[in-house]
Amino acid sequence: MKINAGNLKKGDFVFYQGDIWQVQKADFYSPGKGSALMKTRIKNVISGKNIEYVYKSAEQVEVLDVQSIEMQYLYKDNENLYFMNERNYEQYSLPINIVGDISNFFKEGEKMYVYIYNDKPLTVRPPLSVKLKVIETEDAVKGDTVTGAKKPAKVETGAIVMVPLFVKIGDLISINPETAEYTGRV
Cβ neighbors of 176 (< 8 A, separation 6 or more) are: 128, 129, 183
CATH numbers and ranges of domains, the chain: 2-62 (2.30.30.30), 67-125 (2.40.50.140), 130-185 (2.40.50.140)
* Best CA proximity match to 150, nearest among 135, 136, 167: 167
Closest CA to 163 of 174, 91, 79, 32: 174
Greatest distance between any 2 Cα atoms in the chain: 61
Task: Give residue 14's pLDDT.
Answer: 93
Predicted local distance difference test score (pLDDT) of residue 145: 58
As a whole number of angstroms, the distance between CA 37 and CA 42 comes to 15
pLDDT digits (tens, 9 = 90+) for 151-184: 899 999 999 999 988 889 999 999 999 888 999 8
Q: What pLDDT shows up at residue 142?
A: 64
Render pLDDT for 4-57 as a digit per residue (tens, 0 to 9).
Answer: 888 899 889 999 888 899 999 999 888 888 888 999 999 888 887 889 999 988
**∠ Cα 175 178 183 (to 5°):** 25
| Spatial contact of 22 and 42, defined as CB atoms under 8 Å apart | yes
pLDDT for 146: 59
pLDDT at 150: 87
Overall average pLDDT of the 103-126 stretch: 90
Q: What's the pLDDT tens digit per position in 45-93?
A: 888 788 999 998 888 999 998 899 999 999 999 999 999 999 999 999 9
Indicate if the pLDDT at residue 143 is higher than 70: no
Give the model confidence (pLDDT) of 121-133 as tens digits.
Answer: 988 988 889 999 9
| pLDDT for the residue 173 | 94
**Of 152, 100, 106, which is closest to residue 129 (Cα–Cα)?**
106
pLDDT grade for 98, boundaries at 50, 70 and 90: confident
